[in-house]
Every structure is written in structure tokens, then in C-alpha cells.
Amino acid sequence: MLTMKTIIQIVTIILALAGAFLVANIADAMRGKIDSKVLGAKVFLNESFLKYNWMMIFIACFLFLIIATIDFHEMFGIFIADSSLELIRETSQLGVLACIVVAEYKWFKLVHPAKLDMESSGQYFRK
């Protein structure tokens, strides 16, 4: 039987694997294949990229605040009903991971723009 906790754990594992793949791919591309000055220019000249990354960081920090509030409650038992604390914590952790993976994907697109454009147009497989 699939419970909410099981679904959250499955999605967390999938996102963690996707994030690890993206980071490994980006790291490989950045080792000598991409000029760091060109990459820096792409990052700071692309206003939507910067805004999107800052938005993901803001959301992740807010979700960390929720997790810290739950931990604070567990230490002192002050203001939150205990019935759904674990689900809120796990959902918040999943949200933080999702923000990180989305930001990683934006970096992946920035590092590999031609590859993604060719794949989306179908030219990637026609070579």
C-alpha cells in the first residue's frame, strides 16, 4: 500500500538521482570543455537565469525555516500540533531537494545549450 510517506521517499530518491546526474554532467562539462569566462558572462548576462536561481534559493531557505521550526518545536514542545509534523518535515525536505534539482537543471541548460536545442528539435538523433 502506498502511503504519502512512501510516495515522498520514492520522489526524493528519484530527485536525488537526477540531481547527482546533473551535477556530474555539469562538472564534467566544466573540466576544460567550457571557458570559465564565457560561462561567467552567460550567467551574469542572463537576467532570467539569475532571478530563477535566486528564487530557488529563497524557496529552499523558507523550507529550511519550516524544518527548523519543527525541530524547535520538538525541543520545547511549544506551538505545533504533533499529528502531522513528520509529514510536514518530509514534504519540506522534498521541496528543498526539488529546488536544488531545478537550479541544477538551469545550470545544465546553461552549460549545454546546443545539445538541448538539437534534442528538442530532433536534430540530435539525425546526425
**Per-residue pLDDT at 62:** 94
Q: Residue 7: is it exposed, middle or buried by C-beta count within 10 angstroms (0-12/13-18/19+)? A: exposed
Of 96, 45, 44, nearest in space to 67 by CA: 96
Count how many domains the chain has. Answer: 1
Query: Which residue range(s) make up the domain with 89?
Result: 4-119
Q: How far apart are CA 118 and CA 36, in angstroms?
A: 23
List helix spans (H) across the chain: 4-30, 36-45, 47-76, 85-111, 113-121
Q: Tell me how far apart the alpha carbons of residues 73 and 81 are, in angstroms, rounded to a whole number.
A: 9
Q: What is the DSSP letter of 35?
A: -
pLDDT given for residue 20 in this prediction: 94
pLDDT one digit per residue (tens) for the chain, 127 residues: 788 888 888 999 999 999 999 999 888 887 877 777 777 777 777 788 888 888 999 999 999 998 888 888 777 766 666 667 888 888 999 999 999 999 999 888 888 876 555 555 554 444 4
> 16 in a domain, yes or no?
yes
Domain assignment of residue 125, yes or no? no
In a domain, 126, yes or no: no
Residues 85, 74: contact at Cβ < 8 Å?
yes
pLDDT for res 52: 87
pTM: 0.73
CB 89 within 8 A of CB 70: yes
At 79, phi and psi to the nearest 5?
A: -140, 5
Q: Is 63 within the bounds of a domain?
A: yes
Q: Does some domain include residue 65?
A: yes
Q: Is residue 9 part of a domain?
A: yes
Q: Which helix (H) or strand (E) holds 112?
A: none
Cell numbers found for residue 49: 537565469
